[in-house]
Amino acid sequence: MSVRSRHITLSIFRLIPKGADIFIIDDILFAPLNGLIFIAEKINDVVEKETSDEGTVKEQLMALQLRFELDEIDEEEYDRQEDDLLNKLERIRLDKQNQ
């Protein structure tokens, strides 16, 4: 640390009254990180809600059936996606029973 930067650091600490909370500085320094953590938690909440909602899976099943009836997908693709969605629905129901 150079003499000048040490002098500036000491000057800053002299401005802070004795017994004052230095947590304010920590809050300022960690604000960007705390913001990212907050956003990540909100994204996780939305994803968790979407993947554990029976209604969403049922809507996906109805949309899949409509696509099949409109010949947008063939029977093989329909069966594969239907099996995936039914397995997902079963996992959601089992998770709810285990809670």
**Are 61 and 26 within one domain?**
no
pTM (global) more than 0.85 = no
What residues have CB less than 8 Å from 75, skipping those under 6 apart? 68
Whether 67 and 45 map to the same domain: the answer is no
Q: Would you write out the chain's pLDDT as a tens digit for each of its 99 residues?
A: 555 555 555 555 555 556 555 566 767 777 888 888 999 999 998 888 877 788 889 999 999 999 999 999 999 999 999 999 999 999 988 888 887
Same domain, residue pair 61 and 38 = no
Q: Looking at residue 11, what is its pLDDT?
A: 57
Residue 98 lies in a domain: yes
Q: How many Å is the Cα radius of gyration of the chain?
A: 28
Residue 40, domain extent:
19-49
Output the DSSP codes for 2-55.
-HHHHHHHHHHHHHSPTT--SHHHHHHHHHHHHHHHHHHHHHHHHHHHHHT-HH
